[in-house]
């Protein structure tokens, strides 16, 4: 899978660490697909394709069912009161790397 670098619109391959982080973010209920696009340049369709490729089929189906029911994964379904990508107790994320406290 190749991610689009938003700043200069060049295609860059995802590292194993990036792929793991995208999967982790995709499983988190509070993290919308917009946050994944913002950090990694992957659209919702590309995230779904990555999840299908990287997970066992049964895990993928569980994830897809969960995403369809989750109102916080899609920006259009989110409450207007939620205006952040992450929980205020979550570690700060900068430059696609998790900062240490």
**How do residues 7-34 score in pLDDT, each as one tens digit?**
444 567 889 999 999 999 999 888 888 8
Report pLDDT for 2: 59
**How do residues 49-84 score in pLDDT, each as one tens digit?**
999 999 999 999 999 998 888 877 755 555 555 555
Domain count along the chain: 1
pLDDT at 100 over 50: no
Domain range for residue 72?
2-98
Q: By the 8 A CB rule, do 77 and 20 touch?
A: no
Determine which helix (DSSP H) or strand (DSSP E) holds 101, and give its type and residue range. none
Report pLDDT for 30: 82
The residue with tokens 């406290």 is: 101
């Amino acid at each position: 899978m190749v991610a689009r670098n938003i700043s200069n619109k060049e295609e860059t391959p995802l590292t194993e660490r990036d792929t793991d982080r995208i999967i982790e973010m995709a499983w988190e209920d509070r993290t919308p697909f917009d946050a994944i696009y913002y950090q990694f340049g992957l659209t919702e369709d590309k995230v779904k394709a990555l999840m299908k490729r990287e997970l066992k089929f049964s895990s993928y189906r569980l994830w897809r069912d969960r995403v369809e029911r989750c109102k916080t994964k899609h920006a259009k379904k989110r409450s207007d009161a939620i205006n952040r990508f992450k929980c205020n107790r979550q570690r700060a994320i900068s430059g696609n790397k998790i900062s240490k406290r």
